[in-house]
Amino acid sequence: MKKTYKAHAKINLSLDVLRKRPDNYHDLKSVMQSMSLHDEITLETDTENGIEISTNRTFLATNEKNIAYKAADLFYTETGLSKNVHIHIKKNIPVGAGLGGGSSDAAAVLYGLNELYGDPLGRDKLLALGLACGADVPFCQTGGTCLAEGLGEILTPLSPIPECIILIAKPQMSISTKSVFEAIDTKAIQMHPNTDGIIDSLNSNNLSGIAVRVYNVFEDYVKPRYKELDKIKGVMLDCGALGSAMSGTGSAVFGIFTDEKAARKAANKLKRNKLQTFITYPVQQIFAE
């Protein structure tokens, strides 16, 4: 069988780090949103060559170092099925951007394999396999608008974000998630996002209330190495964005707009500085064909 799935990018409307855990990971609190920007994951199970990966990007790993491979391997190990699948990744989401590109690929692989083999695994088991792949994978398996807590695996569905346009800008540099987490000192964080205020604004369908509260605690740790951050946000805000913040551990920045013309104006300005730009929209349904 052969089928293609959309693996949607995500942004963090808020991202807070609450504490460092005894296992050296961190407890997070984040409002996450699925975006229309997506990779395309084609799964073909009528093969006899184990787990194979191909991609349209030469810099992506096509072996066990790719998180999509890990997801497939975990699925086959859990189900006891023969490991035979060809995974083609059409990569559209920029890497090293804080947009969950790899995590969404893994999520699509888990969902797709489970569907193609007749749903041998229940939702809870699939989410557990997703968490074993990475902290953002459970959200990418769930999608929509969610509050993510714990490592990112404790998910509470929220009211959908009101209709809007979200401009994503990715500079040439990428940022290592591991290095940013290693640098952050939770006791030294001076400003935290008003996540509860964002949730209240979602409940009241108040886009302006959401946008003025978007914030990411990692910005203060990234700024010394990422001089462009405030400039990108400034361009977006000058062009009419209601709010702007970095997504994840960076390096992508997003701006929330109500006017697509204004968003495209900001995109054109940022392109002149050699940034990748994407005009995107929030989505609630994921893994659609």
Please list the active-site residues.
10, 136
What contacts 24+ positions apart, CB below 8 Å, involve 177-182?
A: 177/98, 177/248, 177/249, 180/218, 180/221, 180/222, 180/249, 180/250, 181/26, 181/249
DSSP β-bridge partners for residue 32:
12, 146
Q: How far apart are CA 229 and CA 283, in angstroms?
A: 26
Q: How far apart are CA 164 and CA 30, in angstroms?
A: 20
Q: Which token pair is 247?
A: 């997504």
CA dihedral 145, 192, 171, 237 (to 10 degrees): 80
Q: Which token pair is 235?
A: 């361009």
Q: What share of the chain is helix, strand, coil (3-state, %, to 5)?
A: 35, 30, 35
Residues whose CB is less than 8 angstroms from the CB of residue 233 and which lie 6 or more positions away in sequence, other chains included: 244, 245, 253, 255
